[in-house]
Chains A and B, each alone.
Chain A
Amino acid sequence: MTNSLILSTLTKTYDGTPALRDVSLSVAPGERVALLGHNGAGKSTLMKIILGLIPFDGGEVQVLGAPPGSEKARADVAYLPENVAFHPALTGLEQIRHYLRLRGHSARLAEGLLARVGLADAGRRRIGTYSKGMRQRVGLAQALIGMPRLLVLDEPTSGLDPVSRRDFYTLLDDMAAEGASVLLSSHALTEVEARTDRLVILSQGRLVTQGSLSDLRRQAALPIRLHVIPREGHGSALAEALPKGRMNGTGLHLSCAQEDKLSTLSRIVGLGEIVRDVDVLPPSLEDIYSHFSRRDGQ
């Protein structure tokens, strides 16, 4: 099957300042890709180019086999902007009915869509009275219209509570299971870690790395931290046995390279009686993320 989205050596400059530099990326049908990066790393710019909202300067972009923003691309692409906004005078139902008709669907589907995002009861109230989380859910409801083949979601879970976030990712899983490609950006690293297939890290307009979390972990080769807790009264003996470690109130902190993990562990086990417990702390997603996004010039 051909890729839903293909970007090759995409370049975009705003008034002489490069916003995107040689970004190449493709997303397959059914794949969920998370776009990570600092504010200003180029995530929103990349999304707007994919949607055809802003022009680009160099490279190639193909959205569902068509140019971005073309009628063919727009027919099958759904978008959820960052801080999505609607006219405050309309009710949730009226707004969704309008979007349904724009996509050529029956307006009667609106109630079902709002129910899917948990807004069945608020549909008849004006959007002006909604909370940020509720507006975000109206935004999600419109992105679900008509089984889009590519979903472009700019910080889709901002403003959602933890339960709604989980529901949102369940909806996304369903869409992906039916073959929709998902490209989403997020700051909430821990949630995209578990719910997406691939992470793409942008830094200063460059794509610095991409892959699954374990790929990135291997690439980054960040040290593993070990926390060794001594038996009572054996603290100083432990510190002597592991001179590279650093003692604190509860135990000894030690870090080692990925490939030395097993040998270090067996050394600790070999200390026998004086060790009560060992915690192994692999580098967190935050560590890996800052490793990649700071590598460039910062």
Chain B
Amino acid sequence: MMRILTTATTEFRIALRNRWVTIAVVMMVIFSLVLSAAGSAPTGALGADRLSVTVASLTSLSVYLVPLVALLMSFDGVAGEVERGTLPLVLTYPISRAELLVGKLLAHLGVLTLAVAAGYGSAALAAIATDTAAVQGLPALWRLMWSSVLLGAAFLCLGYALSALVPRSTGAAGLCIGLWLVMIVLYDLALLAAVVTDGGGWFTTEAFPWLLVVNPADAFRLFNLAASDATAAAAGIAGAANSIPPTHALVSMSLWPLLALGGAVMVFRKVTP
């Protein structure tokens, strides 16, 4: 435990020095504030409180931003150590490779939590300042916050796994951007194309909801939108959100970090320094 904690402390310090903490926090705060300002227009028409509407917009934002920030922090996790030549020494210490990865995960998860809390928190303050009814949206915001951290954990671990696959940081960075494009952007586009072609057949009614649930980003979106009163404020997969119980999405979101961590440890064990 001590070994994991000291690794986490050291990694957090490195993230702080590398300005990752600043970059992540500033990015989340700016995007959240812009969204909460832009999202204030439809409030009257929907009859929902202002914060709930903001949460719906933040959900759509986080699906893109949280995995991106997570991958940006983790792509260097193993490949960077290999490239700098710091890995052989630390592996001769009495710390297992799994402990090393968990230590890094804790540190990066800490950075992500800070960024998410600062971003969503400032959006919530902006909403409550202009609409006192907005406090009704606080439970939704809280749910968004912890589920974002869960989503981040999944992508951090995926990033470590990719980072352990290649010996160079630049290669790992390329793989991570590729993963983000495929899982966040292309996956949804492909599903959309399939649904349009299918025209309401077996694929749309049977396969499509499950395909949404198995992708952690879509599961995150489903989970937050299904539980929100303001789903109508969010475009896109709102309809599908109602056909799948949120627990399925939650199970998927909880399994992803565990499976990805297991995968990352397996790949990391094969790395010979």
Contact = CB atoms under 8 A, between A and B. Distances in A.
A101 B6 CA distance: 7
Given A89-B14, A94-B10, A102 B94 contact: yes
Contacts of A84: 85, 89
Interface in A73-99: 74-75, 77-79, 81, 83-87, 89-90, 94, 98-99
Given A71-B94, A83-B85, A86-B86, A102 B3 contact: yes
A85 B92 contact: no
For the complex of A and B, the 7 pairs showing the least CB-CB separation, nearest first, are A101-B6, A85-B85, A89-B17, A79-B92, A102-B93, A98-B10, A74-B94
B133 interface: no
A48 to B, nearest CB: 7
Contacts of A87: 14, 84, 86
13 contacts: A52-B92, A74-B92, A79-B92, A85-B85, A85-B86, A87-B86, A90-B10, A98-B7, A102-B3, A102-B90, A102-B94, A104-B2, A126-B17
Contacts of B92: 51-53, 74, 77-79
A93 to B, nearest CB: 12
Contacts of B88: 48, 51, 53, 79, 81
A98 B88 CA distance: 16
Contacts of B89: 79, 81, 84-85, 139, 142
B190 interface: no
A83 B37 CA distance: 53
A49 to B, nearest CB: 11
Given A84-B85, A85-B86, A98-B10, 10 more contacts: A48-B273, A77-B92, A78-B92, A79-B89, A89-B14, A94-B13, A98-B9, A102-B90, A102-B94, A126-B17
A103 interface: yes
Contacts of B13: 89-90, 94
Interface residues of A, number: 30
A90 B14 contact: yes
Contacts of A83: 85
A80 to B, nearest CB: 8
A265 interface: no
Nearest to A80: B89
Contact of B93 (A55, A74, A85): A74
Contacts of A48: 88, 273
B14 A99 contact: no
Interface in B60-97: 84-86, 88-95
A94 B14 CA distance: 11
Interface in B27-72: none
A90 B13 CA distance: 8
